[in-house]
Amino acid sequence: DSGVTQTPKHLITATGQRVTLRCSPRSGDLSVYWYQQSLDQGLQFLIQYYNGEERAKGNILERFSAQQFPDLHSELNLSSLELGDSALYFCASSPLDFLNTGELFFGEGSRLTVL
Amino acid sequence: GEDVEQSLFLSVREGDSSVINCTYTDSSSTYLYWYKQEPGAGLQLLTYIFSNMDMKQDQRLTVLLNKKDKHLSLRIADTQTGDSAIYFCAERRSSASKIIFGSGTRLSIRP
């Protein structure tokens, strides 16, 4: 158990809909990262937040948005869903000494299926 | 660019050594990692190496870094069935906090 909690574990929805994925980082971790894992694209970095502020942005679509709340949990919002958005979405958090070790702690992921 | 490339599959016999290879393109990458993803689980850090090192050994794991060729490898000695997983190579520049992952290599073990 990494200490990172993601909900829901599975989600099935239709094209055009909107969903919200939630992540609670490990206790004490200020940074939250979102990654998308699909069969044809591998593990793609989406976005990172540090203590409530956006720190780095990757290949995140405009239809997607994220935020980190004062209690440090984060939400990833996916809207106008398309079939190609079906993937496993991972959240990871990092400890305060991240810049030394670079270790990310991953949740078990939220599997999104768009029909 | 920010590309990390790995072969998708590797099959080895139980007890043999597994060698998983990775190439990266960012010459300014300072930290290089190997993460392991077991079925149904998130990724876990296996080991990492700084770019000023050539080799790092940790029990059955040996990481080799060829900075000139931007090539990283992970050797698992005496491969066991519990080593079946997807192995991800990843890189990070010292000035950046995001980690860029490869597509992962699925390691399967045959008896």
Radius of gyration of chain A (CA): 13
**Who wins on pLDDT, A101 or A111?**
A111
- Nearest CA-CA partner of B90 in B43, B32, B40, B51: B32
Give pLDDT, residue B90.
92
Share of chain A above pLDDT 70, in %: 94
pLDDT for A98: 61
DSSP letter at A26? P
Rounded CA-CA distance B40/A68 in Å is: 26
Q: What is the pLDDT of residue A79?
A: 97
Please answer yes or no on whether A31 and B102 come within 8 Å at the CB atom. no
Is the Cβ of B104 closer than 8 Å to some Cβ of chain A? yes
CA distance B41 to A109: 7
- Model pLDDT, residue A96: 66
pLDDT value of position B1: 46
Peptide bond into A8 cis (omega under 30): yes
pLDDT band of A17, cuts 50, 70, 90 = very high
8 Å CB contact between A18 and A37: no
pLDDT value, residue B98: 79
Residue B99's pLDDT is what? Answer: 85
Interface of B with A in 21-40 (CB under 8 A): 31, 33, 35, 40
Tens of pLDDT along chain B (111 residues) come to 458 999 989 999 999 999 999 999 877 778 899 999 998 888 999 999 988 889 999 999 999 999 999 999 999 999 999 999 999 999 987 667 778 899 999 999 998
B83 neighbors B11 (Cβ within 8 angstroms): no
What dihedral angle (degrees, nearest 10) is formed by the CA atoms of A13, A66, A41, A59? 140
Closest CA to A46 of A30, A29, A31, A66: A66
Q: Which of B92, B97, B102 sits opposite A42 (nearest CB)?
A: B102
Among B42, B98, B104, select the one facing A56 at the smallest CB separation.
B98
Per-residue b or e along B72-108, where b marks 16 or more CB atoms closer than 10 Å to that residue's CB: bbbbbeebeeebebbbbbbbbbeebbbbbbbbbbbbe
